[in-house]
Amino acid sequence: MKSDALDTASGLLKAEMRLLGSVLLQVAEKVKVPAGTALAVDRNLFAQTITELVERTEEIDLVRCEVKEIPDERPCIIATGPLTSESLSKAIETFLGEGNLSFYDAVAPIVDGESIDYSKAFWADRYGKGEGDYLNCPLSEEEYEEFYQALISAECVPFKEFEDPKYFEGCMPIEEMARRGKETLLFGPMRPVGLVDPFTGKRPYAVVQLRREDKEGRMFNMVGFQTKMKYPEQDRVFRLIPALRNAEFLRYGSIHRNTYINSPKVLTPWLATKKDGMLFFAGQITGVEGYMESAATGIVAGINAARVAMGKEPVVPPEVTMIGALLRYISSPKEDFQPMNANFGLLPPLKRRIRDKRKKRLAMSERALKALGSWVEENGLEVLRRELV
């Protein structure tokens, strides 16, 4: 379950969940195994303990059956996973509207804006159109040759048995595209046409375009660079791009079978649907990536489902918290919505500049936990902090 250290995004996320009384983390503490600063559990014992807890909790009526339609009861939380059945997927899409449910996850890497070498990149749109919204990372012919050879020889994640290896042209992995020929990328996502490098006054041989993932420019998406390369390979290959030599990846690229809704269009920040304020979504189907991220949305959806049932207003954790930032990310308007995991790039910057990366992240974590503690108290949520395990 990744790191527990507060200078990591996953560590902060878990600390926030503990403040909210996460039952999953209570169980994890009981069945954890040695893993240094990471939280790791005995997988079988963890699953068994969670199951037994659900079965014996008096407030839960457990019904084991396939859900093929959205239930009529309200409030209701839909927390189906990434491999949602065809029947329930159709029911969800019918309710939300055609085009608001995705079945294939093509994710490009996201780079920490502070880790980019801006002396080796320039702002521009092709043919001077627009207002220079793209950060262009040029490569010479020699640099492209080195990058290309590393790309086509990189080790990739194999497909699972349930995944269909047929690629859509719109989400072709960058390495698969490259294997079609050395010049394929030069006519695709790395095409330099319409661009002039201000450092040389000439058109680059190749270029990688980065697009802001947030208004402040804390995060940048590598446009068209969805990939199935293993994470260490992405580090190795993408750092051959001169402007990304010291890049820190807030999210790695991936392509896999998934089911997630168009949350920015259909969900509120408190995870209710805009169409029906008593119907909530939680888990990976909302567009968050990861076990803890999915569980965190479950906590918030549970809180708000209970609140609306009691006639209270729904609530959202502060934006300076990791949970609050994630919720705002998945519910804010976007042209091209892609799932997101917890990372410090989601959080608003500190009021004071801290150069040391670890100290900066610890300061962000301290701010988040203080804000969340106040939020819990203000909304009377201390009741969540009960021991169930």
CA dist 272 and 267 (Å) reads: 6
* Residues 153, 224 within the same domain: yes
Res. 162: pLDDT tops 80: no
Of 17-21, 126-130, 155-159, 292-296, the poorest mean pLDDT is in 126-130
The model's confidence at residue 160, banded by pLDDT at 50, 70 and 90, is: low
Domain boundary among 252, 277, 307: 252
* Residues 203, 286 within the same domain: no
In a domain, 91, yes or no: no
In a domain, 225, yes or no: yes
Res. 163: pLDDT tops 60: no
* Residues 247, 296 within the same domain: no
What is the reported pLDDT for 40? 85
Domain boundary among 231, 252, 273: 252
Q: Give percent of the chain above pLDDT 70.
A: 94
N-term to C-term CA, the chain: 19
What is the reported pLDDT for 256? 74
- Mind listing the pLDDT tens digit for each residue in 335-349? 778 889 999 999 999
The single-letter DSSP state of residue 228 is: -
Contact partners, residue 359, CB within 8 Å, separation at least 6: none
- Mind listing the pLDDT tens digit for each residue in 188-235? 999 999 999 999 999 999 999 998 887 778 899 999 999 999 999 999
Res. 166: pLDDT tops 60: no
Please state at what angle helix 322-331 crosses helix 291-309, rounded to 10 degrees. Answer: 80
Cα angle 10, 253, 47; round to 5: 45
What is the reported pLDDT for 161? 59
> CB burial class (10 A; 0-12, 13-18, 19+) of residue 80?
middle
The model's confidence at residue 168, banded by pLDDT at 50, 70 and 90, is: very low
In a domain, 259, yes or no: no
- Mind listing the pLDDT tens digit for each residue in 45-76? 999 999 999 999 998 999 999 999 999 999 99
Contact partners, residue 72, CB within 8 Å, separation at least 6: none
- The residue segments making up the domain with residue 293 are 9-79+264-384
The model's confidence at residue 385, banded by pLDDT at 50, 70 and 90, is: low
Minimal CA–CA distance to 145: which of 224, 240, 244, 239?
Answer: 240
Q: What is the CATH number of the domain that holds 197?
A: 2.40.30
- Mind listing the pLDDT tens digit for each residue in 72-91? 999 999 999 878 899 999 99
CA dist 59 and 149 (Å) reads: 58
* Residues 338, 223 within the same domain: no
Please compute the mean of the pLDDT values over residues 145-168 and round it to a whole number: 77
Written as one string, the DSSP assignment of 195-207 is --BTTTTB--SEE
* Residues 212, 324 within the same domain: no
In a domain, 4, yes or no: no
CA 118, 119, 120, 122 torsion-angle sign: positive
Residue 204, amino acid: P
Q: What is the CATH number of the domain that holds 357?
A: 3.50.50.60
Contact 294, 288 (CB under 8 A): yes
* Residues 62, 191 within the same domain: no
| CA distance readout (Å), 304 to 26, 57, 208, 237, 307 | 21, 21, 42, 44, 5
CA dist 293 and 301 (Å) reads: 13
What is the reported pLDDT for 99? 83
Res. 164: pLDDT tops 70: no
